[in-house]
């Protein structure tokens, strides 16, 4: 590209101009554009590869970046700004009955295994229900139970306590209070609750002191 | 169509060409005002100084010519011709002070305004179309991204929901209305399963009491349940045609035997 | 909560970041995006108007420029680079002379009724002509005129401004001169005395000043 060249009549546009051209072509074309195609579209003597390198540099760190796709080039939204391409609508739904019951069992009986939850609810607990509670960050996996099979246990989280405005899970009203509040209309059988809970209660205390 | 018209007319070639120059284009005029504007250009003056009288004469001559060529002119061309003839007379005659309405000058001024305005709009349209245009001279983004609509669902529950949920489970427990003591109950299914197995060995009439399982004939509660189950199972088997069943008289022992496969 | 400024929790991203966001959003779409929509899509506390000013400056003289269209913004390739984009050129239906004139009349006289268009052109306007302009999304129906019969009026659209590279309707070429020469007035024919024109002129002034 030296000036002494005889081709100077057909001298290529200055590099800054070539950059503009690359910018415009890549902006307006519906598909990624190869260097070959750029060469075909830009004036004679242009060096699209070099111009591309400059454009790439210019758009580094910008909201759109020049990226290579196969052997073609295109502008793309910067990866970290993908969230702008979404319009979020937040919808609040009530937790399903199964989820509430499972959550209640975890809260009152923690740490509790899946088998225990099923036993208390009297129906099997779908994986989705527990997963949902974990996703909501209201339930997390606790220590494994030291029994055959070493099943995982579930406990409630700080997030759960925050959401429900509790200092700790022991603040949850007991059956007596529930009944006093009219939430338990029928004859209680308090023994059933406690029987196996002795050990677990200890655990529970540990747990909350850990937290 | 114009061809046939011209053939019928007896004209010199020169006359015909002169007429054609104007007439052939009639279809290209966008109405009388447009025609007037075109005619006015022959005056080669600023539209503000145009002679409306001269223009009216030009127009009337044009309409005359078109009539001679039996060219069909749209009604609005003729309406304009009539109006211009009226305007012409107003402009030529001295104003009559007793006459109502606008003067010839006022009418002429308005026509001049209309022509000027039309020309101005024409020029503006030309300037507009001469601008750089999207998709021709400048371009929009070629690769577009759709804005995704993401619906995020958050779940919520109140402490009351939680307590009610728990109460519901515990109440279900407490309220389990009636738990059968399965220890001293023999079901028909159990009995049936047992008899299906045993019946193969019993060739002759046997008291169903002998089918009671071991240990179920002592405790009266158990014996009652077992007897009932065995009896019900026997009826079921009889219905299936597996056994015969008989009772000599009321309260006599109920006997059963295996029914032989029919061989004749 | 010791912080003096409560809002600091929701501090807006730095302006450089907001610039990137504006870039990303505007690069992702072919249609102009209003400041209002930018505000809705960018994080809380952002100032899209300010960011737009910076972005506009940044792209000055580049191959793509930030242009304002009505109250919306879009990136468009620089006008002098159109020759590179023959491949992208959209073959548009050639507009009839009647359609072009009608478009100009709507643009310069808006809001304008069909009767007024006919008055200016001295010929009746075929339904197809206006329909075509509406279909191109260059003309839309405006408010009804508060005159007997309450005729509909026509106005030009944002798409019209976008297509002809106009920031707003006041930028129409020669508008000032035409107005000064009284050629945008709706002068009634001397024999027909119409008093309602006062309102119409008001409307027109409103429109151009609103933009």
| pLDDT single digits (tens) C46-70 | 999 999 999 999 999 999 999 999 8
> Does the pLDDT at position C17 exceed 70?
yes
Q: What CATH architecture applies to the domain A14-81?
A: Orthogonal Bundle (1.10)
Q: How far apart are CA C98 and CA C133, in angstroms?
A: 11
Residues of chain C with C-beta less than 8 angstroms from the C-beta of A30 = 88
Q: Which residues pair with A94 in a beta bridge?
A: B156
Closest residue of chain B to C98, computed from CA coordinates: B30
Q: Find where tokens 């268009």 sit.
A: C117
Whether A164 contacts B159, CB under 8 Å:
yes
Task: Check pLDDT > 60 for residue A167.
Answer: yes
**A98 contact partners, CB below 8 Å, separation of at least 6:** A125, A126, A129
Judging contacts by C-beta atoms under 8 Å, the chain A residues touching residue C77 are 24, 27-28
Q: Do A192 and B158 touch (CB under 8 A)?
A: no
User: What's residue C179's pLDDT?
Assistant: 92
Domain spans of chain C, in order of start: 14-81, 90-208
- Among chain B residues, the shortest Cα distance to C90 is held by B135
Helices (H), B9-51: 13-23, 32-41
Beta bridge partners of C103: none
Cβ within 8 Å of residue B84, ≥6 positions away: B56, B59, B60
Q: What was the pLDDT predicted at C35?
A: 94
- The per-residue pLDDT for range C115-128, each reduced to its tens digit, is 999 999 988 888 88
Closest to A93 (Cβ–Cβ): which among B143, B145, B153?
Answer: B153
How far, in Å, CA of B250 to CA of B96, rounded? 141
Contact A104 B151 (CB under 8 A): no
Enumerate the residues of chain B whose CB falls inside 8 A of the CB of residue C100: 125, 128-129
Of A23, A42, A62, the CB nearest to C64: A23
pLDDT category at A128 given cuts 50, 70, 90 is confident
Surface-to-core class of residue A109, CB atoms within 10 Å of its CB (0-12 exposed, 13-18 middle, 19+ buried):
buried
Interface predicted TM-score of the whole assembly (ipTM), two decimals: 0.63
Burial class (CB in 10 A: 0-12, 13-18, 19+), C69: buried
Quick check: do C14-81 and C90-208 share a fold? yes
Closest CB to C165: pick one of B102, B131, B145: B131
- Asked if A14 and C74 count as a contact pair (C-beta separation under 8 A), the reply is no
Residues of B in contact with A95 (CB under 8 A): 155-157, 161
Closest CA of chain B from A176, distance in Å: 10
Enter the CATH code of domain C90-208.
1.10.10.10
Across A67-76, b (16+ Cβ under 10 Å) vs e yields beeeebbbbb
Which two tokens mark C148?
A: 């007997």
Q: What is the mean pLDDT of residues C138-144?
A: 90
Looking at residues C147-170, what average pLDDT do you find? 91
Residue B16: per-residue pLDDT: 59
Closest by CA position to A120, among listed A134, A104, A133, A132: A104
CB contact under 8 A, B128 and C104: yes
Residue A210 pLDDT level (bands cut at 50, 70, 90): very low
Q: What average pLDDT values come out for chain B (264 residues) when binned by 10 residues?
A: 47 60 62 86 77 88 80 80 87 76 83 91 92 87 78 76 79 52 74 81 78 80 85 87 85 84 52
Q: What is the pLDDT of residue A52?
A: 94
A88 — pLDDT class (breaks 50, 70, 90)? low
B113, burial (CB in 10 Å: exposed 0-12, middle 13-18, buried 19+): middle
Q: Looking at per-residue confidence, does B142 or A54 come out higher?
A: A54
Report the SS3 class of residue C14: coil
CA torsion A162→A167→A168→A172, rounded to 10°? Answer: -90
Query: Can you say whether the dihedral through the CA atoms of A107, A108, A112, A117 is positive or negative?
Result: negative
Q: Would you say C113 and A53 are in contact if contact means Cβ atoms under 8 Å apart?
A: no
Task: Indicate whether C139 pLDDT > 70.
Answer: yes
Chain B contact set for C68 (CB, 8 A): none
Contacts of B176 in chain A (CB under 8 A): none
Give the one of A23, A25, A84 whose C-beta lies nearest to C25's C-beta. Answer: A84
Q: Closest approach of chain B CAs to the CA of C92, in angstroms?
A: 9
Q: With beta carbons under 8 A apart, name residues in chain A contacting B164.
A: 100, 183
Helix H or strand E segment including B120: helix B104-130
Query: Which residue has tokens 């036993």?
Result: A119
Interface partners of C (3+ CB pairs, < 8 Å)? A, B
Computed over every residue of chain A, the mean pLDDT equals 78
Dist. CA C158–CA C163, nearest whole Å: 8
- Burial readout C21-56 (b: 16 or more C-beta within 10 A, e: otherwise): bbbbbbbbbbebbebebbeebbeeebebeebbebbe
The pLDDT score that the predictor gives to residue A47 is 93
Q: Full-prediction pTM beyond 0.95?
A: no
Q: Which residue of C has its CA nearest to A41?
A: C84
Q: A55 near A19, Cβ under 8 Å? A: yes
> Best-predicted range by mean pLDDT among A58-72, A197-211, B2-16, B136-150?
A58-72
Residue A149 has pLDDT above 60, yes or no: yes
Query: Would you place residue A25 in the very low, low, confident or very high pLDDT band (cuts 50, 70, 90)?
Result: very high
pLDDT number for residue B11: 55
Task: Give dist(CA A160, CA B112) in Å, integer.
Answer: 83
Q: Give the whole-angstrom CA distance, residue B69 versus residue B79.
A: 19
CA-angle at B99, arms to B95 and B104, nearest 5°: 45
Report the gap between the CA of B181 and the closest CA in chain A (Å): 18
Query: Residue B176: its pLDDT value, please?
Result: 47
Which chain B residue has the Cα nearest residue A77? B145
Confidence of residue A201 (pLDDT cuts 50, 70, 90): very low
Inter-chain contacts counted by CB atoms under 8 A, chains B and C: 133
Q: Give the single-character DSSP code of B138.
A: B
pLDDT per residue as tens digits for the range C173-210: 999 999 998 898 887 777 644 444 444 444 444 444 44
Q: Which of C21, C104, C178 to mutate to test the interface with B (most CBs of B within 10 A)?
A: C104
Per the model's pLDDT, the better-predicted residue between A171 and B224 turns out to be B224
């Amino acid at each position: 590209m030296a000036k002494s060249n005889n081709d100077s009549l057909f001298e290529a546009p200055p590099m800054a101009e070539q950059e503009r051209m690359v910018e415009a072509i890549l902006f307006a074309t519906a598909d990624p554009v190869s260097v070959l195609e750029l060469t075909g579209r830009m004036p004679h003597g242009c060096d699209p590869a070099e111009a591309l390198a400059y454009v790439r540099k210019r758009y580094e760190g910008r909201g759109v970046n020049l990226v290579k796709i196969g052997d073609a080039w295109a502008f793309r939204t910067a990866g970290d700004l993908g969230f702008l391409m979404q319009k979020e609508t937040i919808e609040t739904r009530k937790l399903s009955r199964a989820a509430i019951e499972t959550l209640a069992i975890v809260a009152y009986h923690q740490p509790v295994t899946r088998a225990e939850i099923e036993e208390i609810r009297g129906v099997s607990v779908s994986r989705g229900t527990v997963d949902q509670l974990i996703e909501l960050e209201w339930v997390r996996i606790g220590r494994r139970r030291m029994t055959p099979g070493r099943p995982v246990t579930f406990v409630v989280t700080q997030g759960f306590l925050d959401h429900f405005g509790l200092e700790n899970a022991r603040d949850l009203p007991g059956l007596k209070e529930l009944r006093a509040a009219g939430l338990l209309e029928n004859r209680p059988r308090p023994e059933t609750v406690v029987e196996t809970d002795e050990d677990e209660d200890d655990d529970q205390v540990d747990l909350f002191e850990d937290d | 169509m114009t061809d046939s018209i011209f053939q019928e007319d007896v004209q010199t070639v020169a006359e015909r060409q002169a007429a054609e120059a104007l007439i052939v284009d009639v279809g290209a005029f966008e109405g009388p005002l447009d025609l007037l504007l075109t005619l006015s250009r022959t005056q080669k003056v600023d539209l503000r100084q145009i002679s409306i009288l001269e223009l009216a004469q030009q127009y009337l001559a044009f309409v005359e010519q078109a009539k001679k060529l039996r060219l069909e002119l749209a009604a609005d061309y003729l309406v304009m011709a009539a109006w211009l003839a009226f305007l012409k007379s107003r402009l030529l005659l001295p104003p009559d002070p007793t006459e109502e309405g606008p003067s010839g000058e006022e009418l002429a001024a308005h026509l001049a305004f209309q022509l000027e305005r039309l020309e101005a709009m024409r020029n503006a349209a030309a300037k507009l179309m001469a601008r750089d245009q999207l998709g021709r001279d400048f371009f929009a983004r070629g690769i577009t991204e759709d804005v995704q609509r993401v619906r995020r669902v958050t779940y919520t529950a109140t402490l009351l929901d939680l307590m009610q949920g728990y109460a519901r489970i515990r109440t279900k427990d407490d309220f389990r209305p009636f738990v059968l003591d399965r220890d001293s109950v023999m079901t028909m299914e159990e009995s049936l399963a047992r008899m299906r197995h045993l019946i193969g060995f019993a060739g002759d009439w046997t008291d169903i009491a002998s089918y009671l399982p071991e240990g179920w004939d002592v405790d009266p509660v158990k014996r009652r349940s077992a007897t009932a189950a065995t009896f019900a199972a026997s009826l079921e088997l009889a219905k299936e045609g597996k056994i015969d069943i008989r009772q000599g008289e009321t309260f006599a022992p109920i006997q059963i035997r295996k029914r032989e496969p029919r061989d004749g």
